[in-house]
A and B are shown apart, each in its own frame.
Chain A
Amino acid sequence: MMRFILPFVIFLVLSVFLYKGLGRDTREVPSPLVGKAAPAFVLPLLHEPGKVFSPKEMQGRVWLLNVWASWCGACKDEHPILMALSQQNIVPIIGLDYKDKAVDGEATLRKAGDPYSLVIADADGKVGFDYGVYGVPETYVIDKNGIIAYKLIGALTSQNLREKILPLVAELQAK
């Protein structure tokens, strides 16, 4: 007689899964790079194309890599947050101008203010690809040994900064 109750049991198990699935964010893709060394690159600076930057230079420091672009709407939302953060001088923020014309990128920063310690230009998006960027803005927290500790997809908000990123930065800096 057990087999007649079987459909019910299967359905019960299924509904537990459906319930668990309710709050799930289907768009979010966890980065496989978290816990791995930040991919190396050499890119020109946005403001001084003659100079280059490489992540090696940040060895020994905790830093944020913020991927943005002048054409990206959500970047404008997080811009004030970045400005405030840079004023607090807690952590260096390196901006990566992703698939952008240098003129447009510079114009944006001139108008809205420049929160970055340094801005690098990734005009063709190659470095962005290496970092697994698929939606701008994205923010990476990179530790003293050059390991990616965290990746935020989407805009920074005062909430995710307060609850996740700043505590993590403090923890990494203490190490």
Chain B
Amino acid sequence: MKYLLMLALLLPTLSFAGVAKDIADDPVMERRMMHLAEKVRCLVCQSEPVSNSHSDWSNDVRQIMREKMKAGATDQEILDLLVERFGKSVLFDPPVDKETMPLWSAPFILLLLGGAFLVYQLKKRKGMVVEAELSAQEQMRAATLLNDSPAAQAAPSKPSKDTQA
């Protein structure tokens, strides 16, 4: 049995072994198509791009994309066509416009705000924290001697309004 299987596996390799053909007629265009398909949402799936979906609809869209590319359409024209047919929600990569301005700018605005806030806080602290005139080494020795945690040690040096509630 095993021998037979081996033979079955070997036979074809002896007879008509060849170099496999790409499924796509034009692999370069296929790559471009798949790249574009990553930006298109499969409408019948849950949350998948057309490039990753096995659904019929995605197959169709990929086919349409191939045809349009063959006809010389640019990526943008193809996306525009899809939006015209299926609406904006077909795009996984929403273009920057009035509605998506907050979306695209939020991370960078937040970063600026966060950075500014941190700098402000650090500056403010510098003025507010009054520390005992001890060097780091002295503090360490004091702490070890007192067998106390540095937090407890720092507490007395804080302004009174900062004490714990």
Residues of A within 8 A of B (CB): 29-33, 99, 125, 129-132, 134-135
Q: In the complex, A29→B86 CA distance in Å?
A: 7
B124 → chain A closest CB, angstroms: 12
Contact A32 B84 (CB under 8 A): yes
Q: How long is the Cα–Cα vector from A125 to B90 in the complex, in angstroms?
A: 18
A40 to B86, CA, bound (A): 17
A-B contact count (CB 8 A): 32
Indicate if B104 sits at the interface (CB-CB under 8 A). no
Q: Which of B56, B60, B84, B89 contacts A29 (CB 8 A)?
A: B89
Distance between Cα atoms of A117 and B89 in the complex (Å): 34
Q: Which residues from B are CB-within-8-Å of A129?
A: 60, 64, 85
By beta carbon, the residue of chain A nearest B55 is A134
Q: DSSP majority for the B interface?
A: helix
Q: Indicate whether B87 reaches chain A with its CB closer than 8 angstroms.
A: yes
- Of residues 67 through 115 on chain B, the ones whose CB sits less than 8 Å from some CB of chain A are 83-90
Set A130, A131, A135: member contacting B44, Cβ < 8 A:
A135
Q: Which of A32, A131, A135 meets B87, CB within 8 Å?
A: A32
A33 touches B85 (CB 8 A): yes
Query: Is B36 interfacial (CB-CB < 8 Å)?
Result: no
A81 to chain B, nearest CB (A): 23
Instruction: State whether A29 touches B87 (Cβ < 8 A).
Output: yes
